[in-house]
Amino acid sequence: MADTTQLGTNAGSAMKMAKEDLNFLAMLAAPETFFLLFPPFYLTLFQLLTAFKKRVERFAIGIPRGFAKTTFIKILCVWYILFSHKRFILIVGASEELAVNTVSDICSLLSSLNIVKLFGRWNTEADVEQQGTKVFYFRGRNIILKAIGAETSVRGINRNNDRPDVIIMDDVQRKEDAENPELAAKLLKWILGTLSLARSNEGCTYIYVGNMYPRNCILEKLKNNTQWTSFIVGGLLADGSSLWEELKPAEDLLEEWQSLKELGEEDIFISEILNSTQITPSSGLNLSLIPECPSYFLEVEPDGSFILIDPSSAKKTADDCTIEHYSVVDGVPIFDDMEHGVFTPLETIKEALRLGAKHNTRLICVEDVAYQSSLLFWFEHICEQEGISGFEFMPTSPKGRAKNDRIKRGLLRCIKGETYLHPKVRSLVISQAAEWNPMKVTNKDDIIDGLGYVEEVLQDYSELIVKNTFDLDGANHGGASHTSDIVLPF
């Protein structure tokens, strides 16, 4: 299909078809390269992205790698320029270079022979035609097309008081960056804060396009956000067929999957082709199987409770000290509160006593390994000095089990529903468990370590777990109040 004379239609009909039919527009703009029809998913998505039903719209889109998602975005931008009221399209890439390449390709599509014959040259009245910025008068309005890299400054991005009314984020999160929770959090903050606030006051269409990664995935976070409408699809559909059979046959995809499995790289296929985060982490445990804590356990008064302390060492590289609180309902422990940080031994004692008073919890267990066992002595000593009674301080020990084996047993209890995670701590536990590798001894495991002692506490100290009213400073205060009455000597 070299030009419009081969379409078998007049210019008016061709323009109408280009506006209504994504496949026709794609073949019109790129006849030499676009010879496969977009399948139904893309057509439905195109209709939604061009309907403009709300002043501000946010779309999170997951299309498998290799399935022409960037090509789809380029054709969409051509449609915005030709047929919509949009005036300022901002393309954001993982780097400025990638975004500039996208802008260049959009302009190449607009410069194709068929588009020029039907609509004229886009750059006849160009005000700015720089590599990353195009400002031109076309189709009865001033249009700005601009490229920037992720996390760059957007100050001064407006031109003649125009701000972006389309912001497209195309693969802004790299897979390697998603492995780092700090980098992922920083990028998400920039997207939701700096970038989002740069939009036009008249409204904006936000489009985030990317892949699902097993950890710290921004696309997954947007998918779970009520303000974003998500459309995420895998290369292989539920019935075993391919999302786009002509482009990526199911047979080829299955062979690729098998090859990656044999190489131990199945995660690549699951995240980038199936667009799924349901990947078994290094632990070998499927953390997605950890059940939500039933509402009943969150609403009733606990039968008992206990505290587990995993003190940190004095080394600068040591994990945080964690003071974990577990309520017990019908014999089932619920990890429901926690204090963690770099605490001195005295601060550890102070925080644990406050947490115990807050929940009316009398049993405080301390990991009885090396110097940590001395905390038991100091708990008793300080409570005696301050007249604090009612607490019970007891040791927990590995009992010959390796640390990683103990942690794995604790996580298995969570998967089986033998230990529940309160919503307050659930994400912290799962996030650390996802990074934990039982083949390493250098894990950050301060939060999940305590889970490995839960079973021991239930078995050894059942009579001390039961709720009890205790005294602070010699007065019977009952439950969780008056924690400020605890005074430590220094």
pLDDT tens per residue, range 134-166: 999 999 999 999 999 999 988 768 777 789 999
Cα 31 to Cα 42: distance, rounded to the nearest angstrom = 19
- CA separation (Å) from 56 to 62, 203, 217? 20, 5, 23
Q: Percentage of residues in the chain with pLDDT exceeding 90?
A: 64
Q: Which burial class, exposed, middle or buried, applies to 135 when counting CB atoms under 10 A from its CB (0-12, 13-18, 19+)?
A: buried
C-alpha–C-alpha distance, residues 405 and 430, integer Å: 17
480 or 298, which is more confident: 298
Q: Is the pLDDT of residue 478 over 50?
A: no
Q: If you average pLDDT over residues 455-465, what whole number do you get? A: 94
Is 4-233 a CATH 3.40.50.300 domain?
A: yes
**CB distance 81 to 157 below 8 Å:** no
Query: pLDDT grade, residue 2 (50/70/90)?
Result: very low
Do strands 304-310 and 88-93 pair parallel, antiparallel, or not at all (unpaired)?
unpaired
pLDDT at 399: 80
Choose the weakest-confidence range: 43-47, 230-234, 239-243, 464-468. Answer: 464-468
Please determine, for residue 484, whether its predicted confidence score (pLDDT) is greater than 70: no
Mean pLDDT of 248-261: 89
Give the number of other CB atoms < 10 A from CB of residue 54. 10
Percent of the chain topping pLDDT 70:
89
35-94 pLDDT tens trace: 899 999 999 999 999 999 999 999 999 999 999 999 999 999 999 999 999 999 999 999
Beta carbons of 384 and 441 less than 8 angstroms apart: no
Tokens of 148: 């920037």
Question: Measuring CA to CA, which residue among 216, 85, 212, 72 is closest to residue 143?
Answer: 85
* Banded pLDDT at 479 (limits 50, 70, 90): very low
pLDDT at 467: 77
If you average pLDDT over residues 221-246, what whole number do you get? 92
- What pLDDT score does 316 carry? 45
Residue 292 burial by Cβ neighbours in a 10 Å radius (0-12, 13-18, 19+): exposed
pLDDT averaged over every residue in the chain: 87
Helix (H) or strand (E) holding 101: helix 96-110
Among candidates 269, 273, 289, 266, which has minimal Cα distance to 237?
Answer: 273
CA trace torsion 238, 58, 94, 75 (10° rounding): 70
At 365 the pLDDT is 95
In this predicted structure, what is the pLDDT of residue 312? 67
Work out whether the CA dihedral 396, 398, 404, 407 comes out positive or negative: negative
pLDDT of residue 161: 79
Residue with the larger pLDDT of the pair 486 and 307: 307
- Residue 488's pLDDT band, with cuts at 50, 70 and 90, is very low
Maximum mean pLDDT: which of 399-403, 412-416, 443-447: 412-416
Q: Which of 84-93, 316-325, 476-485 has the lowest mean pLDDT?
A: 476-485
Q: What is the 3-state secondary structure (H, E, C) of 406-459?
A: HHHHHHHHHHHCCCEECHHHHHHHHHHHHHCCCCCCCCCCHHHHHHHHHHHHHH
**pLDDT at residue number 3:** 45
Read off the pLDDT of each residue in 381-404 and give the average, rounded to a whole number.
Answer: 88
Confirm whether pTM is higher than 0.75: no
Mean pLDDT on 206-232: 93
- Residue ranges, comma separated, of all CATH 3.30.420.240 domains in the chain are 287-485
**Angle CA(111)–CA(113)–CA(115) in degrees, nearest 5?**
65
Q: For the residues 90-112, what does the mean pLDDT come to?
A: 97
> What average pLDDT does this structure show over 345-368?
92
> Residue 370 — pLDDT band, cuts 50, 70, 90?
low
SS3 261: helix
Among 339, 337, 325, 332, smallest CA distance to 294 is for: 332
Q: What pLDDT was estimated at residue 275?
A: 87
Question: Residue 306 pLDDT more than 90?
Answer: yes
Domain with CATH 3.40.50.300 in the chain: 4-233
Q: What is the pLDDT of residues 158-193, one digit of tens each?
A: 777 789 999 999 999 998 888 888 999 999 999 999
Q: Which CATH number fits domain 287-485: 3.30.420.240, 3.40.50.300, 3.40.109.40, 1.10.1740.10?
A: 3.30.420.240
